Amino acid sequence: MSNPVIVSVGPVTFEDVIAVARHDARVTLSDEALAGIQRSREVIEALADDTVPHYGVSTGFGALATRHIPVDMRTALQRSLIRSHAAGTGPEVEREVVRALMLLRLSTLATGRTGVRLETAQAYAAVLSAGVTPVVREFGSLGCSGDLAPLAHCALAVTGEGVVRDAAGTEMEAGAALGAAGIEPVELREKEGLALINGTDGMLGMLILAIDDLRHLLKVADISAAMSVDGLMGTDNVFKPDLQELRPHPGQAASAANILAVMADSPIRASHDTADDTRVQDAYSLRCAPQVNGAARDTVEHAARVAAIELASAVDNPVVTLDGRVESNGNFHGAPVAYVLDFLAIVAADVASMAERRTDRFLDKARNHGLPPFLADDPGVDSGLMIAQYTQAGMVSELKRLAVPASVDSIPSSAMQEDHVSMGWSAARKLRRSVDALSRVLTIELFTAARGIQLRAPLEPSPAEAAVIAALDAVTRTAPGPDRFLAPDIDGAWQAVTDRSVVAAAESVTGPLR
C-alpha cells in the first residue's frame, strides 16, 4: 500500500476519507469508539429475548416488518438480509468510492449508536487496512433506507461471500481474500445486518471526493481564465479588489484575486494598457469569470458544510439513543446529501460552459485580436484546434444533461412502505461524470490559452503563466506548429491538470492560490 498512515476512526474527517479512499491509509478503531460500540451492543443483546418486537432485532424488514422472528432464526434473518440486498448490477464502481463508503459506514458504527458487535466493526477496519475492496455495482441504490445494495455488497464480503478485489486489484472470492489477509469472516447477529447497510455512506463518500476535486479544479478554472484573458488581450482592471468588495461574495473575491495573481507582471497585458486601446469592456466570459467561478466556490463550500454535518452523524434505523432506547427514525433519507450533489452538477456545468466560450473566442479570428484562425499554423491546410473545441462543446452539452437534478425524482419501493426516496446515489454517480468532464473541458481551455499566448511572441506571458506552460510542456506539446495527432497532446495536458502539477506550477510563482 502506498500510504501506511493509520486513521483512528470515530468520527472521521474530510482528510481521513481522502487518505483511506485515495491513498490506502490503514484504519484502526480508537479506544473511545470501542467502548461506545460495546455499550450499544449490550443494549441490543438485552432486547434479544424481549417479547416486544424491535425492528431489525426481532422483526423482518421494510414492508415485512410486521413479522416477528423467533430467536433461533435471527442469524438466518441477518444473513438473508445481506444476501438479498446485495442485488446491484451494471459496471463496477470505482475502488476509491467503495473504500470511502466502507470507511464512512465504519465511522457510523464507531459512534456507538448502531448496536453492532466489536468484532464486526473490527472486521471492517481490517478489510480496509488489507486493501481488500468488495466489488460494488453501479445500480442498486435509491438513496433511501441508505445506499442499501452497495453497502450490502460490502457487508456480504465481510461475511466471506461475494466477490472482491485484493490489494493488487485481482478479482477473487471474498472468502479466499479474507483468508489470505488473515481476516476471520463475520457471522452477523441481531441488528447487525441492518446496521451495515442503512446509511448514506456511498453518496456521502462521493460527495467528499467531488468536493476535493472541485476545490482543485476551481483553481484550475481561475488559472485557465487568467491565461485566456491575457491571451485574448483582455483587461485585468475588472478583477481589482475594490470592485469585488461592492458585491462581497467570498468566492468571487477569491477567484478575482487568483486571476490577478496569475496575470501579474504580464508583458502581454502591459503591451495594450495604453490610450490606443479603445475597448470599453471585455466579453462576459472574460469579465465575469470571478462571478461564475466564485459562485461555484461558494456552492462547493455549502456542500462541504452539509458533508461535515453528515460526517458527524449516526445514520442508522433503528438507532440506539444516548439514554439506551432503540428507536426507529428517518435519518437514513438521503435528501440533504442528494440536494448538494445536484447543486454541484449544476456548478460543474456552468463553469465548463464559460470555459468553452473562452476557448471558442480564441479560435475565431473575428474575436481573438490578431491570432490566426483556430490557432492554425497554415489556416486552410491546417485546422489547428478547431476540433478540440468540438470535443469541448460535446462535453459541455453532456454536462448540461447531467445537471438535471436526480433528487426531484422518486420511485416508491418496498410495497409502498418506502414511498419517497432521494435518488442521492444517482445524483452522486452523475456528479462523478460531471467532475471528470469539467476537468477535460478546463484542460482544453488551458491548452488553447497556452498556444494562444505563445502566438503573441515576442511578447512574453506573466511569470505564473510561463510556469504553467512549462508544466504542460513537460508532459505534452502546446507550442504552435503544423497539425499533429492532437489527442495525445490533450491527454498529456489533462494528466498535468488532474495530478495537480498545473496548480503547483502556478503557485510556485504566486504562492498559495485561494
Pull the grid cell for residue 112: 456507538
Question: Which of 277, 276, 293, 295 lies closest to 285 in space, CA to CA?
Answer: 293
To 5 degrees, how large is the angle CA 441–CA 137–CA 194?
125
H-type alpha helices, 198-334: 201-231, 241-245, 250-263, 267-271, 284-287, 289-311
- Reported as half-sphere exposure (CB side, CA atoms, 13 A), residue 295 has a value of 13
Calpha distance 514→511 (Å, rounded): 9
CB 371 within 8 A of CB 365: yes
Q: 500: burial class by Cβ within 10 Å (0-12, 13-18, 19+)? A: middle
Q: Which of 55, 124, 284, 339 is catalytic?
A: 55
284 carries an active-site annotation:
no
Pull the grid cell for residue 325: 432506547
Q: Name the β-bridge partners of 327.
A: 319
Strand 163-165 versus strand 319-320 pairing type:
unpaired
Would you tell me the crossing angle of helices 501-510 and 201-231 to the nearest 10 degrees? 60
Q: What one-character-per-residue DSSP string does 180-224 give?
A: HHT-PPP---TTHHHHHHSS-HHHHHHHHHHHHHHHHHHHHHHHH
**How far out from the chain centre does Cα 131 lie?**
20
Pull the grid cell for residue 85: 440486498
Distances (CA, A) of 251 to 215, 254, 303: 11, 5, 14
Calpha distance 221→351 (Å, rounded): 8
Pull the grid cell for residue 265: 507582471
Calpha distance 376→452 (Å, rounded): 10
Residues annotated as catalytic (active site), given as ranges: 55
